[in-house]
Structure 1
Amino acid sequence: MPAPPPPFDYDAAVMACARGERFALRALYEREARWLLGVAQRIVQDKARAEDVLHDAFIQVWQHAGSFQPELGSARGWLYTIVRHRALGELRAQGRTHVLEPEELAAISDAQQAPHEGDDDRGLDIDRLEHCLQRLDEARRACVVHAFVDGYTHEQIAARLKTPLGTVKSWIRRSLARLKECMA
């Protein structure tokens, strides 16, 4: 029985992109495109626009790979952040923002928890993440979930939670640091 392939090194792939190595961008695309497309589609609510967002995001990855700083977070997280920000920017450019209904939130939550084909080597321990999220204060956990699962902007989160914008941004930043520490 052959040994399983080594885990994919996202940091090395992004750094290779920074050096102009096209194979690395292709590897990132082949590995993550379908998941990133899902993120974009959940936010913009249109497959064609989500495909445009994904295309623009990968151009941005190629052009700005040199700005990636591994000490600030994972390369995989950086990719998802770029796609999320591009999708939110697309909503703003269209002059609209989308507030998810409770049924949509439940569907997203179910999709996040459902195993995907080939996920066994994706490096995300859902149980551990859930444990770490539960360790956060309820308001801070809500901010993180609204930002990274629901696709809300910081402004939308502040309005929804009736909390000052600066507080929401601070809670998200600190909560992400705590999650990273907990997941390590």
Structure 2
Amino acid sequence: MDNAVPFDYEAAVLACARGERFALRALYLREARWLLGVALRIVRDREQAQDVLQDAFLQIWQNAHTFRPELGSARGWIYTIVRHQAIKEARNRSRMESLDPDDLAGLSDAQQHQDASDAQRALDGESLERCLQRLEASRRTCVMLAFVDGMTHEQIAQRLDTPLGTIKSWIRRGLSSLRECLA
């Protein structure tokens, strides 16, 4: 697909929400190679990255009705889904590699995966929420606008009427604080 031709990501996501399969295909053809690169940088395994991409597109299809244009761009929303799916996969793999095989005796593969996913989801959510609350309000706002709403640094600077360099600094420092808190 020619990336030089303008593409309406918002219209495609909204078409997915209406159940129009061609829109999902158009999104896939338009972005799959770039999204695979995002997943690959996180999971560092091509086969897993392809699985992440497949799972992410399933989530895009199933959750397109939750997309809200007023909260950020459709393209940012799509990339956020892929990033989150890749991070979840990397964490699950890391956690499973660190488990003692004796701890897994007697559990089916499905039970192991579900138990690990449920525990990690609860832990991740609580830890992230706690760490976000510790951030200075301006940094927290910028991080949320960038990584939850999918806004660019320039969009955040315009929305908050703050210089671009300040926004970049707040995001960088906010992420650094989050990493330290979550470590």
TM range (shorter): 0.5 to 0.7
In 1, are the aligned partners of 2:145 and 2:156 still within 8 Å (CA)?
no
Ranges in structure 1 where 5+ consecutive residues have no aligned partner: 97-152, 158-163
CA distance in structure 2 between the aligned counterparts of 1:39 and 1:53, rounded to whole angstroms: 10
Q: Do residues 46 (structure 1) and 17 (structure 2) align?
A: no
Question: How large is the Cα RMSD of the aligned pairs?
Answer: 3.1
- Give the aligned partner of residue 173 of structure 1: 144
CA distance in structure 2 between the aligned counterparts of 1:8 and 1:154, rounded to whole angstroms: 34
> Normalized against structure 1, the TM-score is what?
0.56
- Give the aligned partner of residue 26 of structure 1: 25
In 1, are the aligned partners of 2:35 and 2:79 still within 8 Å (CA)?
yes
In 2, are the aligned partners of 1:154 and 1:169 still within 8 Å (CA)?
no
**Aligned pairs, how many?**
119
> Normalized against structure 2, the TM-score is what?
0.56
Q: CA deviation at 1:180?
A: 1.4
In 2, are the aligned partners of 1:54 and 1:83 still within 8 Å (CA)?
yes
- Give the aligned partner of residue 116 of structure 2: none
User: Which structure: larger Rg?
Assistant: 2
Task: Map 1:82-121; keep pairs closer than 5 Å.
Answer: 82-95=81-94
What is the percentage of aligned positions where both structures have the same residue? 58
CA distance in structure 2 between the aligned counterparts of 1:183 and 1:36, rounded to whole angstroms: 27
CA distance in structure 2 between the aligned counterparts of 1:12 and 1:80, rounded to whole angstroms: 16
Q: Do residues 77 (structure 1) and 76 (structure 2) align?
A: yes
Q: CA deviation at 1:37?
A: 0.2
Higher helix share: 2
Ranges in structure 2 where 5+ consecutive residues have no aligned partner: 96-123, 160-183
Q: CA deviation at 1:41?
A: 0.1
Q: After superposition, give the CA deviation of every residue in 1:97-143 in whole Å (9 maximum; x if it has no partner).
A: xxxxxxxxxxxxxxxxxxxxxxxxxxxxxxxxxxxxxxxxxxxxxxx
